[in-house]
């Protein structure tokens, strides 16, 4: 089974400015999160963010936050406990409404949210810390019957061991483990896709 851009949403979990300096290979994780979000915008895939206790850990890195149509502030480690599921699978009457939040801070060509008339039950997710907030959010999404794809090279924890333990557990629970490039090329499907060159430029 390949990812389908028309059925996908992207969730970026807790790339927060006061947390990232302590994260193993944190700069690489943030760079891949930004690549994913830019590719998502090119492919009309909705992009959402979360922030854990931002009064203590700060907001997400600005380059991540600017690409999220909405960012959920939370205290629970699982963003699903704070209402993420309602954003990802809104009531029927809300699907045609644009998201609120910080969308107006986006460049003009990114202010219009993707059409959301049909449910998008495939969640591509990445973030920190992989063994805490990312893990608990992903497990709750699986329990809520979303298809969950974890982008491993855009995830990390303070230690490599914790990060890898999260991947093992997520795979065992039914999540698909992928990389940024796997997501990009599965969303594209063909070199004839109109945004192929733009996506290729983000990856190179």
Domain count, the chain: 1
Q: Percent of the chain having pLDDT more than 70?
A: 87
pLDDT digits 0-9 by tens, 79-97: 999 999 999 998 664 445 5
- End-to-end CA distance of the chain, in Å? 26
Tell whether the model's pLDDT for residue 1 goes beyond 80: yes
User: What single string gives the DSSP state of each residue in 128-140?
Assistant: S-IIIIIHHHHHH
Q: Which domain holds residue 127?
A: 5-203
Question: What is the greatest pairwise CA distance in the chain?
Answer: 46
In terms of Cα–Cα distance, which of 170, 175, 131 is closest to 149? 175
Q: Check: CB of residue 20 under 8 Å from CB of residue 30.
A: yes
Q: How many residues would you count in the chain?
A: 204
**Dist. CA 95–CA 73, nearest whole Å:** 21
Give residue 4's pLDDT. 97
Cα–Cα distances in Å, from 137 out to 12, 35, 123, 199?
11, 21, 11, 28
Task: List the beta bridge partners of residue 87.
Answer: none
pLDDT digits 0-9 by tens, 125-175: 999 999 999 999 999 999 999 999 999 999 999 999 999 999 999 999 999
Residue reference for tokens 């947390």: 19
Q: Check: CB of residue 202 under 8 Å from CB of residue 35.
A: yes
What sign for the dihedral angle of Cα 22, 180, 104, 141? negative
Domain of 34: which CATH number?
Answer: 3.40.50.850
**Dist. CA 179–CA 38, nearest whole Å:** 15
């Amino acid at each position: 089974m390949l990812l389908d851009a028309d059925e996908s949403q992207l969730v970026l979990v807790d790339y927060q400015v006061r947390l990232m300096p302590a994260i193993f290979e944190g700069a690489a994780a943030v760079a891949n999160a930004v690549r994913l979000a830019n590719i998502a915008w090119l492919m009309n895939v909705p992009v959402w963010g979360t922030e854990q206790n931002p009064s203590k850990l700060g907001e997400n890195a600005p380059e991540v936050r600017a690409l999220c149509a909405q960012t959920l502030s939370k205290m629970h480690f699982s963003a699903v406990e704070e209402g993420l599921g309602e954003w990802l699978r809104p009531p029927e009457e809300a699907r045609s409404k644009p998201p609120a939040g910080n969308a107006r801070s986006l460049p003009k060509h990114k202010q219009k949210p993707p059409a959301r008339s049909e449910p998008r039950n495939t969640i591509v997710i990445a973030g920190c810390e992989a063994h805490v907030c990312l893990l608990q959010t992903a497990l709750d999404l699986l329990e809520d019957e979303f298809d969950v794809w974890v982008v491993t090279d855009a995830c990390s924890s303070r230690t490599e061991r914790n990060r890898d333990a999260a991947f093992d557990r997520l795979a065992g629970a039914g999540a698909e483990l992928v990389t940024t490039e796997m997501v990009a090329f599965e969303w594209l499907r063909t070199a004839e896709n109109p945004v192929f060159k733009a996506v290729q430029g983000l990856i190179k």
